[in-house]
Amino acid sequence: MNRIPHFTSKFFKNIDSKWICIFTLFVINVLLYENSEPLSNYYDSSPYYLFIIIVPSLFLVPITALLIKKLDPRVLFKMFLLIETILIITYGITAMMFQTYNGDNLIYITGYMMIYHKILFWSMLALMLPLLYLATYTQITLFKQEKTKFNVVLNQQFNNFLSSIFISFILLVIARYWSYGISHILVGTLLLFALIEDPLIKWNMSETTGEKKHISTTSEPNTQDSKEAHLNVKSDNSDIYNSVTSSRAKNGIIIFILFIFVATIAYLWPTDYIFLWQSDEGPQLMYFIRDSHQTIDFTIKGLLVFITVGSVLKITDIIDILINKLSRIKNREFLLGISAIILAFFLWTFMMLGFSPFPIRFSLLITPWIMLLMQCWIILILLKRNVESPGLLSAILFISSLAIWGMIALGIEADSDFSPILWISMIIGTGFLIFFLYFFVEPRLILASKKNETEVRISKKESDSSVRKSKINIIMDQINNFVIKRRHIDTQVRVSLLVLLILTPVLSILVPTHSSSNFQILANVDNNCIFYLADPMTRVDQNYKPNFGLKSYNNPNNTIEIVAAKNEFESIQIVMLPIRQSWFALYDIYFDGFAHSSDPNSVVIDPTGKNFTSYRLDYVKPLNNLVPDILYNYSSTTISDGKNHPFWFTFYIPEDINSGSYNGTLHFEVVDRKTQDTAFYRSQIIQFNIKLKVLNFKIPTKPSLKSNFGFSSDYPHQDIVMDWYQDHRMMHWSFFSLPRCTLNADGTINTIDFTSMNDRIQEIYEYGTYTLGFHFAKSSILPVTPFQVDGTWYNHTNYTTCAPKSTYDVTYTEYFSQLESYLQDDAQTYLDDFGNNISWFSDVYLNGEDEIEAREAEKRNKYIEEYRWLREDIGISIPIMQTVMHPKGDIKEQIVNNVDILCWHTVGFEMDFITEAKSQNKEIWIYTTRGPRFPVPTVATSAMATQLRALPWQCFVFNYTHYLIWDVATPYDGMNGYAYQGWNGGSLLYRVPNGFALSTRMELVREGFEDYEYFKLLKLSVQHLKDTDPTNISINIGEDLLNQVNKLFGPGYDAEMDYRKVYNYRYEIGTLLERICIL
């Protein structure tokens, strides 16, 4: 068949399927990565850009360039392609398996795969650029060999580009609205097609007659006729070839200018928009995140814009007209380059000013697309040169790509401590590549001959027939000849590969769905709507379909089973999903309460108060509705969009009930309407049976893990928030003021009035908070009125600056001695859940300067000297708590040596100064803000559910005694996101009319605190058995379970992501505690 319809030929003329497949793979991974980086709480972009993508390529591309000298490029390409196909299909299947029990958005799935399957992720990405290098090498070789005209080159590049965009668009839609894993499996399928059929089709225009001819797109040997056809091509483009003398100096200048240009643009590219705001110091330029532009949805829309514009250009022949007109311009490659620069500068300028010329975030799209502009530009420049290496040309393209990737990373992290390492890595790596590829990779073209292919090396040394071939050359030639002679794959092999091609995605899709039991279908309403059970540990995406929409929704099971100890909360998540019609309404949701299985007619746990709460779970709009987090108290609602609608229910198990099995019924009153305007409707009651197993032990009322959750907002709702704190086992970050004293004439203490301090501490304890902080200033404990010491008058502001040190040391020594004695007095105690008397003194600490290492040296030294004075000269026993980020050098040693409690902002691992402080028996607390980054435990809105629940696990496993967050309801939304420092950083409460709304993150943190109680009770109970019954077999069982708990974290702070394992541990611990619990 020598002709295809005109419309179709517009899109399939002059395409290179191999290049398209590889470039598509590159595009979707870059776009998925760049969309994931900001949402999942700032993935560590610089290390990933450099050390996952660039650094492996620094080794693989030079190796590839060397192998090209020894192996036929087609052989090497097929080897790499086969390996990449296996890797990406494996990657897709692994991602799908994770999605069988996680309904999270694809951005979270991307983050999970990047962290928890590093080797697979690295390997897949590491082969992408070498494959792109090889595909470009082959493509340029054909251009050089066939002396392709300017307009044909540009047209083919546009066709390749448009085809890649189209395929990328389809794959991203599949990833967004169906399955991230399936999208990668389909990419692997495309690569397998390219491997089997090398390539599918290519249509070319005969330059003599304008007739379409079907030719091979590979560098397979051409027939004599095809060779003659190539040789007989009119050379009306002779002005393109051999018109410029090639020299290393000129080529070096081209490389240098190109590298500087793309590196500068990439480094300065505004990855976030710029906002001009007023501060005390005047106008300030500040990056901030435009949330609605951060998501994959806008990337998909951006691709759709490209496809639409490109299709219009092709159908209307506008692109052909423009290319033909451009081909008549003498310095067309110069014009193309200048146009690319102007366009980039135009977009860059608009973004720097805070405007977006189009409704898409271009910084997410610029990385792969700018590569196409560079490729076209460089090809047009260097095709003109006399004797030029395709390998060198590809190397220049590759080096420019690295410059873009690396410089964008450096721009993102320009002010980080990691930046110098990045700069050094980039400079050394790029310099090595330029040196190696430019001076050691020999030019090489592949020409066709009558019988087989002959490699013609444009090298004086190799053109000398007197040079004897080495053994390695002989071996490589034999491999080449072996492959070339067998280039026609047997029919049986082709059929086998095609069967494998079909079965691979089918099996990978169907097998996980049938093995999935984590999304239980609860009810099917006439095949129009389903209700399914989603674990609270999965943050269900609006478009997620349980079992990927492939498994039948018949035979629902409406029984929900939960297990809990006494005095514990347990939550369930039920999702309503319209599947055939959109219009439904939920008029009511109510619960009957729990009755013991032995007496089903008597309700033991009534559904009032905190025993049962129902919420409508809403998505966070500033995060483009990707994150379900806001818990609104349930009220009647209408559903009209055909998407997931989750509901959250919490059950409280009172501590005074009997253990055993309980049953209850949860009712949904659903109104079914065909359309919004239909008058007829039908009401149905959907019932779900809740089976509760109450374990025969209770968890403590007073939390074992102390915490400090700030609430700085002075609202009339504080009492409500404090009740929420107690229900969620959270302690308020509370402070009390030290009482003032009166002095005797010799500077000793006369009186201290503890009344106001007592009242404040009692108030704090009533909030369920058992951690008491105070801020210390030397003047704050002295009398407000002037006083006389040793005959000299002082006031509270000048006493320590004017009086002799020996005099005021006596005052402060006696003051703290009396204060500590008072706090340790038997009258100032309370009982814990185990019957122990706890003194107020054990809860008190002195709150130091916030993040002291960030202060100016003079101020920092002043505070450290004050700590030393209090501990050594005054001799206080109250511990000093100091918050720190990541101190270095002498500062680190000064802090560790002069404080008692280090409260540090966690990163991805335990830093050396924390380990050192532990060795000195220092107490360690942790705190978070909008970070740390995934997958380290944090409370950020965009975190995965496991990150929230794992915070208390982290404290137990690493022996941290407190968790601290500065505020749970930040007083402003901030300039760069939703609340503190973007993405609702430390805020666990949402402002709503007349108060606040809870979040699922607050619920998940409570689950983690309850896990901590299980772990702590197990540890205490095992120790009690060791002391009282050392031969008890339960000791070994308990220690094995504690070892499993300690393995909840992998390298560093990477928490276990399979929450099903955690449930199994909890159930086994709970079963054991029923027998051995000391409480």
**Burial of residue 671 (number of CB atoms within 10 Å: 0-12, 13-18, 19+):** middle
Token match 């497949």: residue? 21
Distance separating alpha carbons of residues 977 and 356, to the nearest angstrom: 18
pLDDT of residue 353: 53
Residues 680 and 741 reside in one and the same domain: no
Mean per-residue pLDDT, 471-489: 52
* Domain boundary residue, one of 696, 714, 738: 696
Token match 């799209």: residue? 365
pLDDT confidence tier of residue 502, bands split at 50, 70 and 90: low
Residues 416 and 386 reside in one and the same domain: yes
Tell me if 500 is assigned to some domain.
Answer: no
Higher pLDDT, residue 279 or 986: 986
Residues 674 and 743 reside in one and the same domain: no
Torsion of CA 165, 166, 170, 176, to 10 degrees: 30
Distance separating alpha carbons of residues 200 and 217, to the nearest angstrom: 9
3-state secondary structure of 1054: coil
Question: Which of 138, 168, 124, 149 has the alpha carbon at shortest distance from 369?
Answer: 168
What percent of the chain is predicted at pLDDT more than 90?
35
One DSSP character per residue, 559-581 reads: EEEEEEEETEEEEEEEEEEESS-
Q: Which two tokens stand for residue 61?
A: 């591309």
Report phi then psi at 468, rounded to 5. Answer: -80, 140
Token match 């033909």: residue? 324
* Domain boundary residue, one of 678, 696, 714: 696
Residues 628 and 712 reside in one and the same domain: no
Question: Which of 36, 1073, 43 has the alpha carbon at shortest distance from 567?
Answer: 1073
Token match 């559903």: residue? 639
pLDDT of residue 528: 83
**Burial of residue 838 (number of CB atoms within 10 Å: 0-12, 13-18, 19+):** middle
Residues 829 and 953 reside in one and the same domain: yes
pLDDT of residue 164: 76
Higher pLDDT, residue 757 or 984: 757
One DSSP character per residue, 440-502 reads: HSPPEEEE--SSS-EEEE--HHHH-TTSPPPHHHHHHHHHHHHHHHT-S--HHHHHHHHHHHH
Tell me if 497 is assigned to some domain.
Answer: no
Domain CATH code at residue 571: 2.60.40.10
Tell me if 244 is assigned to some domain.
Answer: yes
For residues 386-414, one letter each, b for 16 or more C-beta atoms within 10 angstroms of the residue's C-beta and e for the rest, the string is eebbbbbbbbbbbbbbbbbbbbbbbbbbe
Distance separating alpha carbons of residues 816 and 921, to the nearest angstrom: 23
Top mean-pLDDT range of 156-160, 255-259, 296-300: 156-160
Element (H, E) at 992: strand 990-992
pLDDT of residue 121: 82
Residues 382 and 527 reside in one and the same domain: no
Structural domain boundaries, residue 1008: 706-1076
Distance separating alpha carbons of residues 150 and 143, to the nearest angstrom: 10
pLDDT of residue 551: 58
Q: What is the pLDDT of residues 394-450, one digit of tens each?
A: 555 555 555 555 555 555 544 444 445 555 555 555 555 555 555 544 444 333 333
Element (H, E) at 707: strand 706-709
Tell me if 499 is assigned to some domain.
Answer: no
Higher pLDDT, residue 1067 or 425: 1067
The three-state DSSP-derived secondary structure of 129-180 is HHHHHHHHHHHHHHHHHHCCCHHHHHHHHHHHHHHHHHHHHHHHHHHHHCCH
Local structure of residue 873 (DSSP, 8 states):
I
| CA dist list (Å): 513 to 78, 478, 879 | 32, 47, 55
Residues 732 and 636 reside in one and the same domain: no
Domain CATH code at residue 1069: 3.20.20
Distance separating alpha carbons of residues 502 and 496, to the nearest angstrom: 10
pLDDT of residue 157: 72
Domain count, the chain: 3
Residues in contact with 574: Cβ distance below 8 Å, sequence separation at least 6, in sequence order: 522, 531, 532, 533, 534, 646, 647, 649, 666, 688
Residues 576 and 660 reside in one and the same domain: yes
Mean per-residue pLDDT, 177-182: 80
Token match 């269900």: residue? 540
Distance separating alpha carbons of residues 596 and 653, to the nearest angstrom: 13
- Say what angle helices 945-957 and 1034-1046 make with each other, to 10 degrees: 120
pLDDT of residue 4: 37
Distance separating alpha carbons of residues 997 and 993, to the nearest angstrom: 9
Tell me if 920 is assigned to some domain.
Answer: yes
Residues 77 and 136 reside in one and the same domain: yes
Mean per-residue pLDDT, 270-287: 44
pLDDT at 861 over 70: yes
pLDDT at 471 over 80: no
Tell me if 379 is assigned to some domain.
Answer: yes
Distance separating alpha carbons of residues 148 and 234, to the nearest angstrom: 10
* Domain boundary residue, one of 696, 715, 738: 696
Residues 405 and 311 reside in one and the same domain: yes
Mean per-residue pLDDT, 615-628: 81
Top mean-pLDDT range of 52-66, 228-242, 526-540: 526-540
Tell me if 315 is assigned to some domain.
Answer: yes
Distance separating alpha carbons of residues 79 and 75, to the nearest angstrom: 6
Residues 561 and 438 reside in one and the same domain: no
Distance separating alpha carbons of residues 129 and 820, to the nearest angstrom: 66
Tell me if 372 is assigned to some domain.
Answer: yes
Question: Which of 407-421, 821-835, 944-958, 1043-1057 bottoms out in mean pLDDT, i.e. has the lowest?
Answer: 407-421
Query: Within 10 Å of residue 685's Cβ, how many Cβ atoms?
Result: 11
Residues 725 and 633 reside in one and the same domain: no
One DSSP character per residue, 386-452 reads: SS--HHHHHHHHHHHHHHHHHHHHHHHTTTSTTHHHHHHHHHHHHHHHHHHHHHHSPPEEEE--SSS
Contact 959, 947 (CB under 8 A): no
